[in-house]
């Protein structure tokens, strides 16, 4: 085989696989190329196998062994049930830590890892670009063996503990325990002047998560997160970075200067529109709770903790009522088939309904790409409560994340059988747009024409307003807050300072006025700070990518848009390559231009705030 020049045009997954096979038989390879092939075929493959085992152990921890093991048994008392759940937490927490330890022992073994150093140093001698790309992806993983294995293990263990702590927390309201979904449901349903005090107590009950201690012992969740932040920063400094935020961006192939510039551009472009919407949300809160204008911006009166449900009052629309009583599972399967993909195996292996002790947060688990992919969900088993949210979230997880992973070419090198975080978040958020696609509503959900028209008019406006709110509540606020938190020196990383930082940022981005005398770790409602740190910028960049890709799909299928065979064909071509290309190159190939904000701005021009 004659090795190729640097890639200048997009090459499909089958071509990359062919090059992999040809390389193995090439007699003209130089020393660096031969060493790279050997290292990838041995150490990289083994590390991928161990990572897979760790993923399965983490799944068992988050689900406590699945429904059959962790659900309440017939005639089982509350005390025996809680005791059994506690034992399951210990069992699966220990198993996850053991899997992590095995993974780390391999990864941090200098004898195993050190050969990557000269390969990476001489990577420009590698003529085949996809072999060079594998080396560039492998190097950050194995070069960590030079940092501090013991410190890495401490961070891993503390994140496992945090996962258990979040799974263990139940909001306590009027002497009763409520799951995350239950407490959000009660917050959303509480209205009227008589409910004002009730909603304050409900919101504060959920925000007590930061003060929760595992089984009533040890540090609180908030204290534990700050310990994790210090350890992560220490690790990053040993790796040659000023802090963990900068280190993580480097690992995600994100240029920090470009990120800050894009965030600023979006903030400037959308802030006047958000401020207008904020005023309308205040008016809605005044009407809903019978409160003063001054109180309307208190955090208790937003209609929810994670997302401001008061927006539904502003827009006179809630998707929950439209999807009430509908099982999402067959709709997800039918949707995938209609765009030429398959989600049956994802839905069937997923754990979609809440149980005591099970982690309450939605997530997607590509345990063995592309053949074993699962969603962890918490859908109301009666399909009555928050069903619009459930549909939106499962479209995000199953049709976005899940189907994207399922399209990866199985014969690719194992290190490529992944999707960059920004890429998969782009797909996931794009699939949420199906909620307002005429053809999907008619053919997959079977709505009548009146419902369809309401979703296309009121619903589409709600989608845009919700997207605007998400940019400020999540993508800008959380990204900026986390960036500043990791820039704090260790002696500055106190609960008092971080709580005050959250108060300032909530006011800056949202106009939310947290009372001056409230010094509480309200920011801990986001589990990402604990177990998926420095992640929200991927949502932000993913939304920019989503807008750009969705605009391209609308060009390819102007009649049916996202709910079309063209969507499946388009995604198969570009998701099949996995992580063979850097995310910023892939967006150029997919849309013909680098990532920017123009497509996003065009979308928001349709939002009418009158």
pLDDT number for residue 1: 31
Q: Give the DSSP H/E element, type plus range, for residue 105.
A: helix 78-107
Tens of pLDDT, residue by residue over 484-539, are 999 999 999 999 999 999 999 999 999 999 998 999 999 999 999 999 999 999 99
How many other CB atoms are found less than 10 A from the CB of residue 277?
Answer: 21
User: Bigger pLDDT: 402 or 25?
Assistant: 402
CB-CB contact of 210 with 220 (8 Å):
yes
Tens of pLDDT, residue by residue over 193-208, are 999 999 999 999 999 9
pLDDT at 35 over 90: yes
Q: Give the DSSP H/E element, type plus range, for residue 365.
A: strand 363-368
pLDDT number for residue 4: 39
Q: Is residue 309 part of a domain?
A: no
Task: Tell me the residue range of the domain where 389 lies.
Answer: 322-444+538-595
Q: Is residue 401 part of a domain?
A: yes
pLDDT number for residue 8: 59
Give the pLDDT band of residue 86 (cuts 50, 70, 90): very high
As a whole number, mean pLDDT of residues 379-388 equals 94
Average pLDDT, the chain: 94
CATH code for the domain in which residue 396 is found: 1.10.1370.40
How many other CB atoms are found less than 10 A from the CB of residue 173?
Answer: 18
Cα 578–584–586 angle (5° rounding)?
Answer: 45
How many other CB atoms are found less than 10 A from the CB of residue 7?
Answer: 17
Three-state SS annotation for 525-590: HCCHHHHCCCCHHHHHHHHHHHHHHHHHHHHHCCCCCCCCHHHHHHHHHHHCCCCCCCHHHHHHHH
Strand, helix or coil for residue 373 = strand
Give the pLDDT band of residue 3 (cuts 50, 70, 90): very low
Which residues, in sequence order, are CB contacts of 424 under 8 Å at separation 6+?
A: 400, 401, 404, 405, 542
Of 146, 166, 192, which residue constitutes the final position of a domain?
Answer: 146
As a whole number, mean pLDDT of residues 255-281 equals 96
Of 102, 127, 146, which residue constitutes the final position of a domain?
Answer: 146
CB-CB contact of 210 with 327 (8 Å):
no
Q: Is residue 236 part of a domain?
A: no
Number of domains in the chain: 2
Q: Is residue 106 part of a domain?
A: yes
What is the C-alpha separation between 489 and 497, in angstroms, rounded?
11
Q: Is residue 155 part of a domain?
A: no
Give the pLDDT band of residue 2 (cuts 50, 70, 90): very low
pLDDT number for residue 7: 47
pLDDT number for residue 144: 82
pLDDT number for residue 5: 40
pLDDT at 605 over 70: yes
Buried b (16+ CB within 10 A) or exposed e, 211-240: ebebeeeeebbbbbbbbbbbbbbbbbeebe
What is the C-alpha separation between 189 and 320, in angstroms, rounded?
12
What is the C-alpha separation between 178 and 572, in angstroms, rounded?
42
Q: Is residue 328 part of a domain?
A: yes
Q: Is residue 56 part of a domain?
A: yes
The distance between the two most distant Cα atoms of the chain, rounded to a whole number of Å, is 81
Give 193-256 as a DSSP string: GGGHHHHHHHHHHHHGGGG-BGGG-SSBHHHHHHHHHHHHHHHHHHTT-SSHHHHHHHHTT--H
Q: Is residue 495 part of a domain?
A: no
Of 126, 146, 166, which residue constitutes the final position of a domain?
Answer: 146
pLDDT at 468 over 60: yes
């Amino acid at each position: 085989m004659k090795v190729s020049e640097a890639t200048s045009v997009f090459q499909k997954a089958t071509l990359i696989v062919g090059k992999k096979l040809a390389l193995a038989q090439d007699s003209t390879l130089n020393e660096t190329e031969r060493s790279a092939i050997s290292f990838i075929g041995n150490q990289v493959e083994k590390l991928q196998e161990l990572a897979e085992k760790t993923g399965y152990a983490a799944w068992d921890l988050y689900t406590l062994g699945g429904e059959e093991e962790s659900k309440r048994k017939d005639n089982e008392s509350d005390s025996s049930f809680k005791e059994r759940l506690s034992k399951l937490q210990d069992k699966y927490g220990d198993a996850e830590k053991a899997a992590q330890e095995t993974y780390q022992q391999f990864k941090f073994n200098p004898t195993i890892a050190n050969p990557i150093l000269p390969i990476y140093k001489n990577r420009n001698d590698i003529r085949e670009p996809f072999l060079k790309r594998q080396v560039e992806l492998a190097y950050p993983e194995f070069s960590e063996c030079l940092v501090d294995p013991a410190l890495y293990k401490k961070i891993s263990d503390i994140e496992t503990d945090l996962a258990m702590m979040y799974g263990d927390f139940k909001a306590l309201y009027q002497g009763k325990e409520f799951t995350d979904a239950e407490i959000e449901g009660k917050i959303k349903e509480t209205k009227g002047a008589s409910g004002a005090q009730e909603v304050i107590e409900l919101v504060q009950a959920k925000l007590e998560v930061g003060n929760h201690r595992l089984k009533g012992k040890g540090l609180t969740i908030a204290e534990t997160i700050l310990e994790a932040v210090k350890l992560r920063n220490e690790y990053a400094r040993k790796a040659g970075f000023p802090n963990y935020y900068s280190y993580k961006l480097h690992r995600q192939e994100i240029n920090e200067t470009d990120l800050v510039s894009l965030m600023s551009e979006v903030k400037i472009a959308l802030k006047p529109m958000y401020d207008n919407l904020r005023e309308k949300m205040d008016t809605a809160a005044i009407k809903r709770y019978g409160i003063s204008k001054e109180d309307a911006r208190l955090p208790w009166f937003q209609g929810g903790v994670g997302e401001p449900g008061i927006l539904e009052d502003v827009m006179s629309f809630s998707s929950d009522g439209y999807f009430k009583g509908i099982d999402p599972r067959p709709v997800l399967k039918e949707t995938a088939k209609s765009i030429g993909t398959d989600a049956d195996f994802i839905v069937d292996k997923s754990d979609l309904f809440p149980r005591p002790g099970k982690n309450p947060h939605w997530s997607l688990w590509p345990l063995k790409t592309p053949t074993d992919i699962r969603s962890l969900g918490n859908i109301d088993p009666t399909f009555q409560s928050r069903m619009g949210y459930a549909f939106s979230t499962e479209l995000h997880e199953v049709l976005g994340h899940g189907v994207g992973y399922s399209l990866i070419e199985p014969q690719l090198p194992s290190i490529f059988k992944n999707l960059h975080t920004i890429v998969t978040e782009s797909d996931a958020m794009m699939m949420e747009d199906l909620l307002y696609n005429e053809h999907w509503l008619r053919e997959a959900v079977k709505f009548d024409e009146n419902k369809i028209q309401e979703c296309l008019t009121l619903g589409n406006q709600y989608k845009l307003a919700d997207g605007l709110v998400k940019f400020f509540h999540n993508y800008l606020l959380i990204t900026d807050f986390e960036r500043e938190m990791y820039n704090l020196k260790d002696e500055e990383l106190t609960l008092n300072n971080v709580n005050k930082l959250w108060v300032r940022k909530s006011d800056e981005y949202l106009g939310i006025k947290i009372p001056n005398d409230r010094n509480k770790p309200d920011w801990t409602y986001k589990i990402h700070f604990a177990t998926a740190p420095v992640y929200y910028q991927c949502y932000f960049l993913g939304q920019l990518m989503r807008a750009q890709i969705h605009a391209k799909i609308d060009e390819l299928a102007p009649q049916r848009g996202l709910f079309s065979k063209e969507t499946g064909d388009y995604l198969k071509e570009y998701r099949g390559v996995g992580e063979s290309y850097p995310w910023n190159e892939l967006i150029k190939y997919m849309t013909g231009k680098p990532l920017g904000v123009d497509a996003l701005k065009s979308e928001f021009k349709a939002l009418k705030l009158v």
